[in-house]
Amino acid sequence: MNDNSAPDPDPTAADATETAAEEPRRSPAVIATAVALPIALLTGIVVAAVMVSRNPVTSPVGLGPVPAPEAESSACTDLLAALPENIGDFARAELADPAPVGAAAWQAADASEVVVRCGLERPAEFDQAAALQIIDGVQWFEVSGAEQGIDASTWYVVDRPVYVALTVPNGSGPTPLQDISAAVADVLPQQEIDPAPVEGP
């Protein structure tokens, strides 16, 4: 005698089917959004960190007064307008009030500073025996701060209509001199140097 009755359904399979039917299906768009949000957040944090590192927070640079009889001259005005916004790792910084005329400053992330002053008097050390260095066609005279215990040097442009001083921290490399030389060469015409006579013994 043949048993044509259907086999009893597997209760475990039935339960799984019911459970699957009860679970809502997730839309592909919802899944994509759930995956994309953490990635976008992480990307935003990284970009923000990069922007902060490229644009360090700088504080105004305070500069004391020095004799600069030509600071308001058109030559100094033209030079200040031609100075770059960045010099290597140094970014242009604001000057604290009262800001001297004819001056500009740049600051690095470690708070070290590069300073330009235009229209100064002839440096007292610049005489006919002074050693000069030519950078991109501009003649410079260096005054080291070592004797005063200053970890910086001041370089003076001596072959233009006005004297320009560039103070750089030791170890900052050649970039500040090269960048300022380029600006000086662009806007200030070259002229004969005028050193002081060498003092006798």
In order, the DSSP letters of 82-96 are: HS-SEETTEEEEPBP
pTM of the model: 0.71
Single out the residue of 83, 193, 199 nearest to residue 133, CA to CA: 193
Helices (H), 55-138: 74-82
Which segment of 19-28, 31-40, 117-126, 145-154 scores lowest on mean pLDDT? 31-40
3-class DSSP state of 189: coil
* 105-119 tens-digit pLDDT: 999 999 999 999 999
Q: What is the mean pLDDT of residues 100-107?
A: 97
Cα distance between residue 37 and residue 138, in whole Å: 55
* 37-59 tens-digit pLDDT: 443 333 333 333 233 334 445 68
Handedness of CA 157, 162, 167, 172 (dihedral sign): negative
**pLDDT number for residue 81:** 97
The token pair at 48 is 């923000």
Contact 42, 36 (CB under 8 A): no
**pLDDT number for residue 12:** 47
What structural domains does the chain harbor?
11-54 (no CATH), 74-187 (3.40.1000)
**pLDDT number for residue 26:** 59
Handedness of CA 181, 185, 186, 187 (dihedral sign): positive
3-class DSSP state of 123: coil
Cα distance between residue 49 and residue 179, in whole Å: 28
Residue located via tokens 């740049």: 106
The token pair at 16 is 């799984």
Contact 118, 68 (CB under 8 A): yes
